[in-house]
Structure 1
C-alpha cells in the first residue's frame, strides 16, 4: 500500500490530534489516510517543481556558457529541498535542521548575488542572521544528542542488539 516506504508514525499512533477529536475509529482512520495522501501530493508537487526549476537553471547556465557561484548555490538549494522531501518520504519526519540549512545557503546566496547593492548595515544584518541560524542548528543538534527522543533510543538499542548477535 505504501510501496515500500516507511509508514508515517502518525498513522500508527492512536493518541494524535485526530483521535483526540473523539471521532469514530473508522472516521479517524479515513482522516489520517486523507491527511497522508494530501501531504504526499504536496511533497510530490514540491519535488517536481524543484526538479523543473533545477532543469531551467541548468538550461540557463548552458545557454550562458557560464557558471557562477550564485548558480551553484542555487543548485545546492534545489538538492537540499529534494533531500528534505526524500527524507520525509522515507521516515515520515522532517528534521528542523534541514530548513535551517536551506535558509543559511539562501542567505549566503543573497549576499553573494547582491553584495554590490548592499549597504553595510544590511550586510551585517544578513551575516548576523546566518550566524544566528548556525547557532540554532548547533543547539538543536546538541539537544538531539544530549536528550534524544524515546523512539531514537529504542532504535539505538535495537541496532546495538543486532550488532551483539553478529
Structure 2
C-alpha cells in the first residue's frame, strides 16, 4: 500500500468518523476507562512490590546474610514504589523513574553476572547504562521529566 493510498483512506475515514470531541460522552468514557485502568494496574504494581520487598526482607533475616544482590534488589523495589507514589501524588507519570529503574536493573545485572559474561557484553551493558543516563539527563534538563515541555514552564 502506498503512502498516497494510506493518506486517502485516512482522510476518507476522518470525513465519516470525526475524532471525538473532548466534551463528548465517548471521549470521557474512553479516557476515564484508561485512567482507571492505569490506576488499578499501578496499585497492583505497588502492592506486588511491597510483597516482594517483604519477602526479600524475610529471606535476609532468615539467612542472616545481606548480599549486594539483596541491596540492589531492594533499591529496585524502592524506585518502583517511588514511581507509583509520584504518579498518585503529582497526578503525572514521569519519564525519569522508569529510566532510573532500567539503569539500576542493568547495573545489578552487570554486578551479579560480570564474572560469567563475555567482556563485550559488559561493554554493551555499560553503554546502555550510559545511554539511559544521557536520556534521563536530557529529559530532566529539558523539562520532560515532569511531564511538561520547556516552553510550558515558566523560567526565572
What is the TM-score when the length of structure 2 is the normalising length? 0.77
2:5: which partner in 1?
none
Q: CA deviation at 1:57?
A: 1.0
Structure with the bigger RCO (C-alpha within 8 Å, sep 6+) is 1
Q: CA deviation at 1:24?
A: 7.0
2: distance between equivalents of 1:81 and 1:74? 11
Give SS of 2:150's match.
coil
Matched, 1:84 2:87: no
Give SS of 2:74's match.
helix
2:53: which partner in 1?
54
2: distance between equivalents of 1:29 and 1:38? 14
1:25: which partner in 2?
24
Where does structure 1 differ by over 6 angstroms across 4 or more consecutive aligned residues? none
Q: CA deviation at 1:48?
A: 0.5
2:68: which partner in 1?
69
| Residues 76 and 26 (structure 1), Cα distance of their counterparts in 2 relative to 1, 3 Å cut | same
2:96: which partner in 1?
97
CA contact (8 A) 2:22 2:28 kept: no
Larger radius of gyration: 2
1:4: which partner in 2?
none
1:148: which partner in 2?
150
| Residues 129 and 23 (structure 1), Cα distance of their counterparts in 2 relative to 1, 3 Å cut | closer
1: distance between equivalents of 2:139 and 2:38? 25
Unaligned stretches of 5+ in structure 2? 1-17
Deviates more, 1:100-109 or 1:86-95: 86-95
| Residues 68 and 94 (structure 1), Cα distance of their counterparts in 2 relative to 1, 3 Å cut | same
Give SS of 2:44's match.
helix
Unaligned stretches of 5+ in structure 1? 1-18, 158-166
| Residues 24 and 132 (structure 1), Cα distance of their counterparts in 2 relative to 1, 3 Å cut | closer
Alignment coverage as a number of residue pairs = 135
What root-mean-square deviation, in Å, do the aligned CA atoms of Structure 1 and Structure 2 show?
Answer: 2.3
2:7: which partner in 1?
none
